[in-house]
A and B are shown apart, each in its own frame.
Chain A
Amino acid sequence: MTDSPGRLAGKVAIVTGAGSGIGRAAAIRFAAEGARVLVADIAADRAGAVAAEIGGPAAAMAVDVSDPAQVEAMAARAGSEFGGIDILMTAAGVLSFGSVTETDPQAWNRVIGINLTGTFLASRAVIPAMARRGGGAIVTVSSSTGAHDASPGNVAYVASKGGVAMLTKAMAVDHAPQGIRVNAIAPGPTATPMLGSVMTEDEMRRFGEAMPIGRLAEPAELAAAAAFLASDDASYVTGAVFAVDGGQTAKVGMTLADLGTIARQA
Chain B
Amino acid sequence: MSRFDGKTVLVVGGAQGMGLACAERFGAEGAGLALFDIEDAALAAAAAGLRERGRAVETISGDVSQAADVESAVARAVERFGGIDVLVHAAAVVELTPLLDFPESLWRRIVDVNLTGLFLATKTAGRVMAARGGGSIVVFASTNAFFAEESNVPYSATKGGIVMFVRNAAMDLARHGIRINAVDPGIIDTRLSAALVHDPVAGPEYLKRIPAGRYGTADDIAKVVLFLASDDAAYMTGEDVIVDGGLTLGATLGIEDLGLEGAE
Seen from chain A, the residues whose Cβ lies within 8 Å of a Cβ on chain B are: 3-4, 169, 172-173, 176-177, 188, 212-214, 217-218, 221-222, 224-225, 227-228, 233-240, 242-247, 249-251, 255
Partner of A233, one of B167, B175, B217, B223: B223
| Contact yes or no, A225 B238, CB < 8 A | no
| Contact yes or no, A3 B212, CB < 8 A | no
Q: How far is the CB of A33 from chain B (nearest CB, A)?
A: 11
| Contact yes or no, B171 A3, CB < 8 A | no
Asked whether B66 is an interface residue with its Cβ less than 8 Å from the other chain, the reply is no
B192 contact set on A, CB distance < 8 A: none
Asked whether B44 is an interface residue with its Cβ less than 8 Å from the other chain, the reply is no
B77-85, B150-158, B244-252: which one contacts chain A?
Answer: B244-252
| Contact yes or no, A3 B220, CB < 8 A | no
Given known A-B contacts A3-B2, A212-B237, A217-B235, A172 and B246 have beta carbons under 8 A apart: yes
A173 contact set on B, CB distance < 8 A: 211, 246, 249, 251
Across chains A and B, the number of contacting residue pairs, with CB separation under 8 Å, is: 123
| Contact yes or no, B223 A234, CB < 8 A | yes
A222 contact set on B, CB distance < 8 A: 235
The winner among A3, A228, A236 for most chain B CB atoms within 10 A is A236
Contact size class for B? 35 or more
| Contact yes or no, A240 B230, CB < 8 A | no
Bound CA–CA A246/B167 (angstroms) = 11
| Contact yes or no, A243 B246, CB < 8 A | no
The winner among A188, A214, A228 for most chain B CB atoms within 10 A is A228
Asked whether B145 is an interface residue with its Cβ less than 8 Å from the other chain, the reply is no
Q: How far is the CB of A162 from chain B (nearest CB, A)?
A: 16
B246 contact set on A, CB distance < 8 A: 172-173, 176, 238-239
A227 contact set on B, CB distance < 8 A: 232
| Contact yes or no, B230 A213, CB < 8 A | no
| Contact yes or no, B231 A3, CB < 8 A | yes
| Contact yes or no, B216 A247, CB < 8 A | no
| Contact yes or no, B232 A244, CB < 8 A | no
Partner of A250, one of B212, B233, B239: B239
Give B247's nearest chain A residue, CB to CB.
Answer: A239
B230 contact set on A, CB distance < 8 A: 3
| Contact yes or no, A247 B211, CB < 8 A | no
Task: Provide the B239-264 mask, 1 if CB < 8 A to any CB of A, else 0.
Answer: 10111111001110000000000000
Partner of B233, one of A188, A212, A224, A249: A224
> Would you give 6 A-B contacts (Cβ < 8 Å), ordered by A?
A3-B3, A176-B246, A217-B235, A233-B223, A240-B242, A249-B238
| Contact yes or no, A242 B1, CB < 8 A | no
**In the A-B complex, the 8 residue pairs with the closest CB atoms:** A250-B238, A176-B211, A236-B220, A250-B167, A224-B232, A221-B235, A173-B251, A247-B238
Given known A-B contacts A236-B244, A242-B241, A250 and B171 have beta carbons under 8 A apart: yes
B233 contact set on A, CB distance < 8 A: 224-225, 228, 244
Asked whether B236 is an interface residue with its Cβ less than 8 Å from the other chain, the reply is yes
Asked whether B12 is an interface residue with its Cβ less than 8 Å from the other chain, the reply is no
| Contact yes or no, A247 B243, CB < 8 A | no
Q: How far is the CB of A25 from chain B (nearest CB, A)?
A: 12
Asked whether B174 is an interface residue with its Cβ less than 8 Å from the other chain, the reply is yes
Given known A-B contacts A3-B3, A173-B251, A250-B239, A236 and B234 have beta carbons under 8 A apart: no
| Contact yes or no, B234 A224, CB < 8 A | yes
Q: Which of B168-216 contact A (CB under 8 A)?
A: 168, 170-171, 174-175, 179, 186, 211-213, 216
Q: How far is the CB of B124 from chain A (nearest CB, A)?
A: 22
| Contact yes or no, A3 B232, CB < 8 A | yes
Partner of B243, one of A237, A243, A250: A237
| Contact yes or no, B232 A238, CB < 8 A | no
Bound CA–CA A146/B159 (angstroms) = 25
B245 contact set on A, CB distance < 8 A: 176, 236, 238
Query: What would 18 more interface pairs be, CB under 8 Å, given A173-B211, A225-B233?
Result: A3-B3, A172-B246, A176-B246, A212-B238, A225-B232, A236-B243, A236-B245, A237-B242, A237-B243, A239-B246, A243-B239, A246-B235, A247-B170, A247-B237, A250-B167, A250-B168, A250-B237, A251-B167
